[in-house]
Amino acid sequence: MLNIYVSNISLASRYFKTIANTRNKLINQKYYFGLRKYTLQISSKSFNNKGRITNRIQRNYHDDGAFGYRVSREFEMPDYTTEELSNRIENAGLLRLITAYRTFGHRAADLDPLGIMKREDIKALDQLRYIVTTNLNKLYNLKGILFVNSKDKATLDSILSHLLKVYCGKVAYEFMHIPNSSERRWFYRIIESFESLSLTSKEKIRIFEVLTKSEVFDHFMAKRFPQVKRYGLEGAESMMVALDRLFEITNKAGITDVVLCMPHRGRLNLLVDLLKFPPTRLFHKIKGNPEFPEELPASGDVLSHLAFSPTLDYGMPKPLNISMLHNPSHLEAVNPVAMGKARAKQMDLIKSEKDCELGDRVMCVQLHGDAAFTGQGVVMESFGLSNLPHFSSGGSIHIVVNNQLGYTTPAQNARSSWYCSDIGKMINASVIHVNGDFPEDVTRAIEVAFEYRNKFRKDIIIDLITYRRWGHNELDEPAYTQPLMYKNIRSRKSVSKLYEEKLIEDLILTKKDIVDFREQYFNVLDEHYKQSDNYKSEMDSLRKKWIGLVMPKETVSKKDTGIPQETLHKVGMASIETPKDFVIHPRLQKFHVQTRLQKIKEGKAIDWATAEALALGSLLLEGYNVRLCGQDVGRGTFSQRHAMLVCQESERIVIPLNGLAKDQGMLEVANSNLSEFAVLGFEYGMSCESPNILNIWEAQFGDFFNGAQVVIDTYISSGEVKWLRQSGLVMLLPHGYDGAGPEHSSCRIERFLQLTNDRFNVLDESTPINPNMHIVNPTIPAQYFHVLRRQMKRNFRKPLIVVAPKILLRSSVAVSNFEEMMPGTTFLPVLGDPSISDYLKVEKVIFVSGKIYYDLVKAKQNKNINDKFAIIRVEELCPFPKQDIEIELKKYNNVNEFIWCQEEPQNNGAYTFMEPRLNQLLPPGKKLKYVGRPPSAAPAVGVSKWHHKEIKNILNDIFV
């Protein structure tokens, strides 16, 4: 292995020629050239079979020594032989012609069922631009140029005929933009060697059944439920053929789990016709009944968001488990959720199967609509995650059901690109376009896509070009805005009817066979329809990995989450241990390692990052896995965490907490790309797969969460109540008003509180305290320690929003001792005022939440008025801590004034949530007074002088 450290990539590339000439001297040796910014890695594998060095330049940083750092295996095609290279030179004109077809053939392909897509005269495909010959019988040597099964030679006419058939038919390919030469060579070899589609009669009958079932289902729904928006599949029935074939070849290739996500269109068809969703259950729901037992605390969801996770038998030793995800109305938001769930499944299998690599057993399949695929930014973010070492699951297959219309918007108004699939080129994804009117060609496209994904473990896109027979929903009239398009559609035979005619012509089926099949399936659906009134819904959650957990009725508990002192000491010491040859940055050695070492020895003055390490490490010792994800989380945005350390000489990394014990759980530190929407969705998906993984997502700053608001609105806040799916995801949102002007980072506490379904009438004892998520604003490290451990120690899972500190991370007053984390201790929703010696002297009670508590304490001490003012900290905002507040209020009998004080503007923060609830608990005739900043359009002023003045005014208003 040779490592050359150079200052930039262009300089590194200058070494290629010299290095290639000295191949034998370089292998297994190591040289250093000055600066260490980029690394040129060279090993024996870096040379091709001609002894030339391959062009691979990358940063050798954050290597695979980290748990969870997984890269897909590489597949390399053999390079051209000497004979093939010589032939390519000799027949350069022919090579250029064939390259033109490989590059531009898709532009001339017959892809549009409606014939409305513009087909240009592609001049690049004119053979006269490359070959001028009058000898039509001349045989061209094809070695290394074109792949036609066993043929080595062919005439120009037969070559052109083959190229038109392969590249300009009903299937078209885009792969020449891929930088990897192995991928390009694999593509044109596999598709050019393909002569004709050789499906058996049995396979063709299967296609017929899948197409016809889908159409009969839509007709049945139109007859029995004419006023229901079902988002039927008519016009795009080939989607069913694509998935049916994909599931079969996937399982036969050894894959046992498919995570599937899709939008509305065709969802019900797929559920009933392929995924074994009981039609009786569907019709029961359509008739207005819940999809779960009525006694459960859930709201349910609309028809087009339903999901089902069956096991399909394709005759293999292990059947295929399909995990279909519920879909929110916000299109494409489900994509990263599916990716996260697939990743979690894959990591579990890698742990249990020694030879299992990314993508061997689990595959993510994502269905999209054409307009949303190009219009929603989360698609780009999700693609950006697809090949990252802590996010990849071995490649997704994307199927874009391309209706050529988004609601009423035609393609020219829906995207700036030629194809809807062009967004995938940001990661050099290959694309297969296919005409949806030809289901046999659709099966071919699926086979090629799966083979590519299985070889290279990368994403691939199938652009399934179809049409939409009805409007956006069946009650809409699309001809208002698309009269010519829908005149065309309404004069067309359906996809299934066209295929039935083909099978009759090929003597595979008779007209009677077809009529009988249609009638039989319609009657089956009708029988389910009759039985649906008597259907009893069942709960389909908390199964498999979730067995043992419960649907909570009450979520208020004070569970003992303390751990023994020896465990605290062991974890604390291990959190800073590194190998002997590991060189830590001198500043970290002094201010992180040595400081923490002293604190652990004394068991005192435990800071925020240390308390976090103690919580996570103790959970690891108990067998839980932890995944800490976000931008720069390994170090921590404020350079406080250092859960991973980087050697200053080699740049290799170590995660100290992964060295606690042999049978411990593992900590995955996933430094993410600069994304919030997709990354948070990914982490939510992971958290839904297993209750034994503590998934933590940390926003770089508190206000960065709003880029992921869609995930919060559609999944985190409502996934349990809509779909009975629990998640223990933790969101850490650094929140602070630190006097730094524009550096204020508000996590918008008010938004999260508004999204909770915590009860308004806190005096109503008949209403269970079971909100959809918990929101805490801890002021001391011990509280943070306990709340993290509580996430995993309860017998249910709830999302946890932590209003995390910034300035308190290194505060000398916001510290804890071991005694606050040992057995018998727990998270306390409310902290009383420890400075009060005589409760009868208290005149004002001040409720606060968060960092401003310390400002008030300091001001109170300076004024020497301890017993006049009591400060009560509300550490858990939701669920509203009624009982704990009542206990505190009983201590104060002579109080004249009750105040809510906060740093945030009055229309922000917790005030609007706490005020109506606190007023119900105050003594008769007393009302809560607000002291804080006035309402503001911005979360904070951007001028530090004004900021300090506002804080001074707040303190003066309280301590008058």
In a domain, residue 108? The reply is yes
In a domain, residue 63? The reply is no
In a domain, residue 914? The reply is yes
One domain, residues 132 and 218: no
Q: What is the pLDDT of residues 391-415, one digit of tens each?
A: 999 999 999 999 999 888 888 888 8
One domain, residues 182 and 104: yes
One domain, residues 480 and 582: no
H or E element that contains 103: helix 92-104
pLDDT at 39 over 50: no
Residue recorded with tokens 């006694």: 295
**Range in 32-36, 237-241, 343-347, 625-629 with the lowest mean pLDDT:** 32-36
Residue recorded with tokens 């250029």: 96
Q: Read off the pLDDT of each residue in 447-467 and give the average, rounded to a whole number.
A: 96
In a domain, residue 729? The reply is yes
pLDDT at 64 over 80: no
Q: Read off the pLDDT of each residue in 796-810 and give the average, rounded to a whole number.
A: 94
What confidence score (pLDDT) does residue 540 get?
A: 87
Q: Read off the pLDDT of each residue in 131-158 and give the average, rounded to a whole number.
A: 87
The DSSP symbol for 537 reads -
One domain, residues 807 and 857: no
CB 774 within 8 A of CB 879: yes
Distance CA(615)–CA(782), nearest Å, equals 9
Q: Read off the pLDDT of each residue in 543-561 and give the average, rounded to a whole number.
A: 89
Provide DSSP, 123-175: GGG-GGGT---S-TTPPEE-TTT--BTTB-EE-HHHHHHHHHHHHSSSEEEE-
One domain, residues 677 and 711: yes
- Percentage of the chain modeled with pLDDT above 70: 92
Distances (CA, A) of 348 to 2, 353, 355, 723, 794: 35, 9, 13, 24, 22
**Looking at residue 472, which CATH number applies to its domain?**
3.40.50.970
One domain, residues 364 and 389: yes
In a domain, residue 9? The reply is no
Three-state SS at 869: strand
**37: how many CB neighbours lie within 10 A of its CB?**
13
One domain, residues 478 and 605: no
In a domain, residue 229? The reply is yes
pLDDT at 602 over 60: yes
pTM across the whole model? 0.92
Residues β-bridged to residue 460: 397, 430
pLDDT at 341 over 50: yes
**Looking at residue 676, which CATH number applies to its domain?**
3.40.50.12470
C-alpha dihedral over 491, 492, 494, 499, to 10 degrees? 150
One domain, residues 96 and 241: no
Average pLDDT of every residue of the chain: 90
In a domain, residue 809? The reply is yes
Token representation of residue 672:
């993410």
One domain, residues 470 and 338: yes
Alpha-carbon Rg for the chain in angstroms: 32
Structural domain of 682: 565-735+777-820
pLDDT at 539 over 90: no
CB 669 within 8 A of CB 655: yes
Residue 711's pLDDT band (cuts 50, 70, 90): very high
One domain, residues 120 and 260: no
Distances (CA, A) of 103 to 146, 177, 431, 458: 14, 8, 12, 20
How many domains, the chain? 4
**Strands (E) located in 714-865:** 730-734, 774-776, 800-804, 830-831, 844-848
Chain CA centroid to CA 880, Å: 31
CB 88 within 8 A of CB 80: yes
Nearest to 592 by CA among 653, 629, 549, 635: 635
What confidence score (pLDDT) does residue 411 get?
A: 83
Distance CA(175)–CA(183), nearest Å, equals 8
One domain, residues 786 and 930: no
Nearest to 738 by CA among 908, 958, 948, 949: 948
What confidence score (pLDDT) does residue 197 get?
A: 67
**Range in 26-35, 599-608, 815-824 with the lowest mean pLDDT:** 26-35
Residue 283's pLDDT band (cuts 50, 70, 90): very high
In a domain, residue 790? The reply is yes
Q: Read off the pLDDT of each residue in 217-241 and give the average, rounded to a whole number.
A: 95
Token representation of residue 310:
């069956």
pLDDT at 736 over 90: no
What confidence score (pLDDT) does residue 56 get?
A: 39
Could you tell me which residue, 23 or 399, shows the higher pLDDT? 399
* Angle, vertex CA 840, rays to CA 835 and CA 842, nearest 5: 55
End position of a domain, from candidates 820, 855, 873: 820
Q: Read off the pLDDT of each residue in 723-743 and give the average, rounded to a whole number.
A: 81
Longest CA pairwise span in the chain (Å): 112
CB 366 within 8 A of CB 373: no
Q: Read off the pLDDT of each residue in 174-199 and give the average, rounded to a whole number.
A: 89
Q: What is the pLDDT of residues 505-523, one digit of tens each?
A: 999 999 999 999 999 999 9
One domain, residues 444 and 579: no
Q: What is the pLDDT of residues 45-62, one digit of tens each?
A: 333 333 333 333 455 555
Nearest to 798 by CA among 464, 553, 504: 553
Distance CA(777)–CA(787), nearest Å, equals 10
**Looking at residue 845, which CATH number applies to its domain?**
3.40.50.11610
What confidence score (pLDDT) does residue 561 get?
A: 97
What confidence score (pLDDT) does residue 17 get?
A: 39
Distances (CA, A) of 588 to 62, 570, 577, 819: 18, 21, 13, 27
Alpha helices in 719-776 (DSSP H): 719-723, 749-755
Q: Read off the pLDDT of each residue in 339-366 and give the average, rounded to a whole number.
A: 89
What confidence score (pLDDT) does residue 738 get?
A: 66
Distance CA(781)–CA(791), nearest Å, equals 16
CB 595 within 8 A of CB 663: no
Q: Residues near 731 by Cβ (< 8 Å), separated by ≥ 6?
A: 680, 696, 697, 698, 699, 705, 716, 799, 800, 801, 802
What confidence score (pLDDT) does residue 60 get?
A: 53
End position of a domain, from candidates 508, 527, 552: 508
Query: What amino acid is encoded at 366 in this protein?
Result: Q
Could you tell me which residue, 541 or 269, shows the higher pLDDT? 269
pLDDT at 195 over 70: no
pLDDT at 734 over 70: yes
Token representation of residue 565:
């002192």
